[in-house]
């Protein structure tokens, strides 16, 4: 169990760490714009997933999954939602809004809780309501200081939260590799059309056209590697999720926005106004409230399960004796 937990922590840190430094990687794809980067990311992710399926002999299982039309439709919808997330994140990276992206991923756990209320009709505990309320105040403060709603942050938080909600409907019926393969397969036609449109517009003198293959070997190599960069963290995350309690996994997810914030402020020198600092501070307070509540609830559930296990034999022993 200790080895499993250690492996789970290492894979979780690796996954969230890779997601945290993605802004630096996507800057290598300059001068390509967000639509082209997302299109190539989809196509090369699909190629990488198909290679992995072949290497792991996963095609028989993959073909079985494809026969389940409802499951495939759900995964296709998940693909549409995650492409919104990818496009927003890459736009934030190439336009100097990494700090806003970090705020979005800090907000994600709170948005997930809120979606549970709105979509799944879940009932929140008082601490969860407090966290949601504090987060709303934080967004208002940032919006007032910024002069507009932090739409990048909100779009990232709600798109990723919705993606998680859709994937929850799938449950444990599909592995991470097969799921990502179907999602990218569903998006591949749209990605191919995007590349064609960009090429046609470029030939007519509208926009920069397709940058891939014209901006040097480093840019082309990084574009091809975007498929690997997309798939590997997801596979590491899936490995961690099988080995770690949900509460532990939930706490490690904050590594991603922390690293993104460091990249935005320390490396890319994005401004941090007083309103942003206050807003971030309130979001962190909300996350502490949410995390403490989650840990207490998890401990209480384990205690109840242990007590139930201890009580049950004593209740059943007279029957065994009689």
Nearest to 94 by CA among 297, 317, 264: 264
pLDDT in tens, 24-52: 999 999 899 999 999 999 999 999 999 99
Cα separation, 167 vs 74, in Å, equals 8
The helix (run of H) or strand (run of E) holding residue 119 is none
| 246 pLDDT more than 70 | no
Cα separation, 38 vs 24, in Å, equals 16
What mean pLDDT is predicted for residues 129-137?
88
The percentage of the chain sitting over the pLDDT mark of 70, rounded to a whole number, equals 90
What mean pLDDT is predicted for residues 67-90?
92
* Nearest-5° Cα angle at 260, 47 to 144: 125
Cα separation, 178 vs 204, in Å, equals 39
Give the pLDDT band of residue 314 (cuts 50, 70, 90).
very low
| Plot region of 68 (φ>0 → left; ψ -120 to 50 → alpha; else → beta) | beta
Cα separation, 53 vs 56, in Å, equals 5
Buried b (16+ CB within 10 A) or exposed e, 28-39: ebeebbbbbbbb
> Higher confidence at residue 120 or residue 50?
50
What mean pLDDT is predicted for residues 53-64?
91
């Amino acid at each position: 169990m200790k080895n499993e937990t250690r492996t789970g922590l290492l894979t979780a840190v690796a996954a969230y760490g890779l997601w945290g430094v993605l802004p630096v990687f996507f800057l290598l794809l300059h001068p390509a714009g967000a639509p082209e980067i997302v299109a190539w990311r989809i196509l090369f992710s699909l190629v990488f997933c198909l290679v992995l399926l072949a290497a792991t002999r996963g095609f028989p299982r993959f073909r079985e999954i494809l026969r389940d039309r409802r499951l495939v439709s759900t995964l296709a919808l998940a693909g549409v939602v995650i492409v919104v997330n990818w496009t927003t994140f890459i736009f934030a990276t190439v336009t100097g809004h990494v700090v806003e992206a970090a705020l979005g991923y800090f907000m994600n756990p709170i948005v997930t809780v809120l979606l549970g209320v709105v979509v799944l009709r879940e009932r929140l505990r008082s601490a969860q309501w407090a966290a949601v309320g504090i987060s709303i105040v934080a967004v208002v403060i940032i919006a007032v200081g910024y002069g507009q709603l932090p739409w990048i942050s909100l779009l990232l938080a709600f798109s990723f939260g919705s993606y998680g909600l859709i994937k929850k409907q799938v449950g444990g019926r599909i592995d991470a590799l097969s799921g990502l393969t179907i999602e990218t397969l569903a998006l591949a036609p749209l990605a191919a059309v995007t590349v064609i449109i960009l090429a046609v517009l470029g030939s007519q003198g509208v926009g920069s056209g397709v940058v891939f293959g014209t901006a040097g070997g480093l840019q082309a190599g990084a574009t091809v590697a975007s498929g690997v960069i997309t798939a590997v963290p997801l596979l590491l995350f899936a490995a961690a999720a099988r080995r770690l309690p949900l509460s532990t996994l939930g706490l490690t997810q904050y590594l991603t926005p922390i690293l993104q914030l460091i990249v935005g402020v320390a490396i890319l020198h994005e401004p941090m106004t007083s309103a942003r600092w206050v807003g971030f501070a309130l979001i962190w307070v909300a996350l502490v409230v949410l995390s403490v509540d989650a840990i207490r609830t998890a401990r209480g559930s384990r205690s109840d399960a242990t007590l139930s296990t201890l009580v049950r034999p004593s209740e059943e022993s007279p029957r065994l004796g009689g």
